[in-house]
Structure 1
Amino acid sequence: MSEYNPDRPYIRVQDMATFKAIDTETASMYGRTVRAAEISNVDYKMHFTRFHETSSMKPPPSCGRIFMGYVVVRKLGRPDQYETWMPDHVFEELYGQPVSTPET
């Protein structure tokens, strides 16, 4: 992230870019497409604190150190849709480049 944006931890699902799973195993487990946005683990903790009561979310990882990663919405449009955070290198191995970005 090049600029500090105080609202970044509070990004809405519809404002996240869309990514496709690179392999069929990931697609079958979590859905072919996900929505995601780059945020740190610390930002995800803030995101979780604000939205966990109204959204299905996995708890944030430990925040002893700051790591870049992505908030990821998996199983889009299904009853078991949920949000989680993953380190950037893991996300990029599973999903690669965005296939679409929201209108700004």
Structure 2
Amino acid sequence: MEREYLDETLRRLAAEPGFRPAGWGARETADFHRLVQCARAAYVDTDLRNMRVLRIKPDDGLPGKARATLSSGRVIELTFKNSDSHGTVVFELLTPQMEAK
């Protein structure tokens, strides 16, 4: 799947090998890298959703959205966009205020 990032921090974390955002530990950085690698290997969204180790849960019944919880409890929202030729997953870092909505 192709990947897009709504958050500059997540984009840098995925693209820059030595980058670690302030407040992020080594384990949650590794969790995010695993999520990105699995998304890269997936052909369709169900490939990614079915990987239990990623802890991806549906987002309130919205078919094109899901949430992945990192080991620290930080939540990444995933938005899936599929077309006939390929799929894309959009990563967004949720803040506690966004999670409450």
TM-score (norm 2): 0.31
Determine which structure has the larger helix proportion and give its number.
Answer: 2
Determine which structure has the larger strand proportion and give its number.
Answer: 2
